[in-house]
Copies of this chain bind each other. A is one copy, B any other.
C-alpha cells in the first residue's frame, strides 16, 4: 500500500472507532439518564456485541498490518500521525493479550454491576452489590497480568489512567499532602471564625436550579450547540466526539451547592473535550489525554475558579435573583459559606481542603483489595474505619459510605488518585497562568475568555498528542510540584478562617 493510501485507511479506521465510541457512549449515557429501569439487560446485550466489534476492529490482522506498515514509515509521518500509530499499536498489543471472550464478558459484567449498584445505593443494600466488587477486581487483576505480567496489578491500573504513575509516586504525593494538610484541617476545625451557614438552609426548587445551570453554562462560555446538561444519579461527562458533549448533574432541593458545583466541575471536563483541535476530531487523539489531566480541568473550574471570591461575586446577583432567600446576604458571606470546610461523608460534596482525604481512603482500599488484604466482605468496615481515621467521621450507612461512588461498579480501579493529582496540577496551572493573565480580575468582570484561551492553547487543543507528563511539563514550563497545591490551599484557608 502506498503511504497516502495507508494514511487514508488509518483515517477511516479511526472514524469507525469513533463511531463505535459514539454509539456505546450514547447507550451508556441513555442508560443512566432517561432509559426505563428494566432496560439494562437489553443494553448489556447491545454493548457486548458492539464492544466485540470494536475489539475486532482494534486487533484484527488488517489493522495490525496497516499499523506495522505505518510504524515502519514513521520518519515520513508528522508528529500527530506518529502518535496515532503509536497509541493504536499499544492498544492492539494490549488488547490482544486479553482473550476476546473475557473482554466481552467484562463489558457485560460492568454493565450489570452499574445497574445493581444504582439499586443497591438507593436501597442501602451493600450485600447485593458486594459480589460484583470481587468479580471486577479479579477481572482487572487478570487483565493486568495479561498485559503487564511483570508489573504490580494495581500499579498497572494507576498507569492505565495516568501513564507512568506508580504506587511509590502516589504514596509520596499523598504522604506530603497529609503532612501539610492535616494540621491545616485541624486548625480550620479549631478556628473560632466559622462561617454562617444558616442562610443556606432553604428549599431550592429544581426548576430554579435548572435555570441556574443554564446561567452557569453561559458564564463558563460553553457552546450549548454542542453540549447539553442531563440529569443522573452520579454526575459525569461524556464526549461522544468534540462536537457532541454531554454533561450531567443531580439536583438536591435541600442543597443548592451540590448541583451548582457539579455543573462547574463537569463543565471543566466538557470544555476540555470540546476544546481539542478540529483536525484531531474522529481520531484517537481527539479527547482528554488522561484522567488526572481531565480532573485538573474540572477541579480547576470547580474550585480554583468556581470557589474563588471573584467567581462567587460574579454569580451572586443571579443567585439572589433565582433564590430570594439569599437577598441581603453579601458576597463575602456567600464566599465563606461556599468554602466552608469540615470533614464530611460524601466525596463529591466535600470542600476543597478535606477533599483529598476522601481520595486517600479510596486509594488505601483499592491497594488492599488488589493486594488481597481484604475482600468485598471487609470493605464496608474498612471504609468506615478509614473515614473515622482520616476524616474523624462516623459513617451511618453504606449509601453514604462505600456505595456512594459509581467508579468501582464501572471497573474504574486506579482512577481516584487522578482527582487529587488533577487538583494539584490545577494549582500549578493557576500560578503559571497568573504570570501572564489577571485570572481573578477577568473572572470578576465576568470574562472567562483569557482563562479559557490559556487552557485551550496549553492543554485542550493538544488532545492526546503528548503524554500527560510531557503535556503538563510544557504547560508548567517545568516539573510538577505538589508544593504549589499546598501553598494555594494554605493561603486560601488561612485567609478564610483568619488563622
Contact = CB atoms under 8 A, between A and B. Distances in A.
A17 to B, nearest CB: 9
A377 to B, nearest CB: 32
A39 B244 contact: yes
Interface in A317-337: none
Interface stretch (A178-186, A219-227, A410-418): A219-227
Interface stretch (A20-28, A73-81, A165-173, A365-373): A20-28
A99 interface: no
A237 to B, nearest CB: 14
Contacts of A16: 49, 53
A37 interface: yes
B19 A243 contact: no
Given A36-B225, A38-B226, A46 B23 contact: yes
B282 A45 contact: yes
Given A26-B26, A26-B30, A30-B26, A19 B45 contact: yes
Interface string A35-48: 11111011101100
A87 to B, nearest CB: 20
Interface residues of A, number: 36
Q: How many identical chains are in the complex?
A: 2
A35 B243 contact: no
Contacts of A240: 42, 46
A234 interface: no
A34 interface: yes
Given A30-B30, A41-B243, A22 B46 contact: yes
A228 interface: yes
Interface in A177-233: 223-228, 230
Nearest to A225: B38
A243 B27 contact: no
A27 B22 CA distance: 9
Contact of A19 (B38, B50, B223): B50
Contacts of A250: none
A241 interface: yes
A15 interface: yes
B244 A49 contact: no
A206 to B, nearest CB: 11
Given A39-B226, A244-B42, A282-B45, A50 B23 contact: yes
B282 A35 contact: no
A18 B16 CA distance: 19
A144 to B, nearest CB: 29
A224 B36 contact: yes
Given A35-B244, A36-B225, A38-B223, A49 B19 contact: yes
A217 to B, nearest CB: 11
A16 B30 CA distance: 20
A46 B30 contact: no
Given A15-B49, A19-B50, A228-B36, A43 B282 contact: no
A42 B228 contact: no
17 contacts: A19-B45, A22-B42, A23-B26, A23-B27, A26-B27, A26-B30, A34-B228, A34-B230, A35-B228, A36-B224, A36-B226, A36-B227, A38-B243, A39-B226, A41-B243, A42-B240, A45-B282
